[in-house]
Chains A and B, each alone.
Chain A
Amino acid sequence: NAGVTQTPKFQVLKTGQSMTLQCAQDMNHNSMYWYRQDPGMGLRLIYYSASEGTTDKGEVPNGYNVSRSTTEDFPLRLLSAAPSQTSVYFCASSERLTVYGYTFGSGTRLTVV
């Protein structure tokens, strides 16, 4: 099925480790987004990409890095994992940079111990 695919679905990291959360979409969407969902906090934007080759910071970018070298992929890198990064991470895409028509992935649940 067409959509947004996130891998892995679950991950446990030790403090200080680095890792990359993968996100791929097959809808030829121009724009992609990374959100984190914490209990009682709703969804907060980490980084977004309006189109291939561009990225911008969202509300909570510290401790993360992204790149957008292809239209399909938008990986999120945790540089040195901290317990505060324990969260559920959602990737989303939309046809263009717009509030309309976000398609979300099913999420990655990350625990940092």
Chain B
Amino acid sequence: DQQVKQNSPSLSVQEGRISILNCDYTNSMFDYFLWYKKYPAEGPTFLISISSIKDKNEDGRFTVFLNKSAKHLSLHIVPSQPGDSAVYFCAASDTMNYGGSQGNLIFGKGTKLSVKP
């Protein structure tokens, strides 16, 4: 059973507009969430994260929103740039159990973002 779901395999956005990438999770024990960005032929790189005690975290053009009651988080990129074109992975962890069988970082399937000039 998939615990972290990214239901949109792809998203296309015009340069300068907002990109919104969505992620849903099922495990109510998850208390830390991260977004990773991956370019072709490269490894994922950390983008932004949020703890479950917050509902928003901002870093420049990137903002992550967390709705715990809906078990939903989203990544907003404003304004979108062509260099943002990549695959974005949502990941989650139950940090109280991290390192045990239940606590490792769980990744979604990814969403491929294309930002068109």
Contact = CB atoms under 8 A, between A and B. Distances in A.
Given A43-B89, A106-B43, A99 B107 contact: no
A101 B107 CA distance: 15
A48 B89 CA distance: 20
Interface in A58-113: 58-59, 90, 92, 97-102, 104-107
A41 interface: yes
Interface string B19-36: 000000000000010100
A50 B95 CA distance: 15
A107 B43 contact: yes
B46 A92 contact: no
A101 B43 contact: no
A4 B43 contact: yes
A50 B100 CA distance: 11
A99 B95 contact: yes
A41 B106 CA distance: 11
B70 interface: no
Given A42-B6, A99-B105, 15 more contacts: A40-B9, A42-B4, A42-B108, A43-B44, A43-B89, A43-B91, A43-B107, A50-B99, A59-B104, A99-B91, A100-B49, A102-B105, A106-B41, A107-B41, A107-B42
5 contacts: A42-B4, A98-B98, A99-B91, A101-B46, A102-B46
Interface of A: 4, 35, 40-45, 48, 50, 56, 58-59, 90, 92, 97-102, 104-107
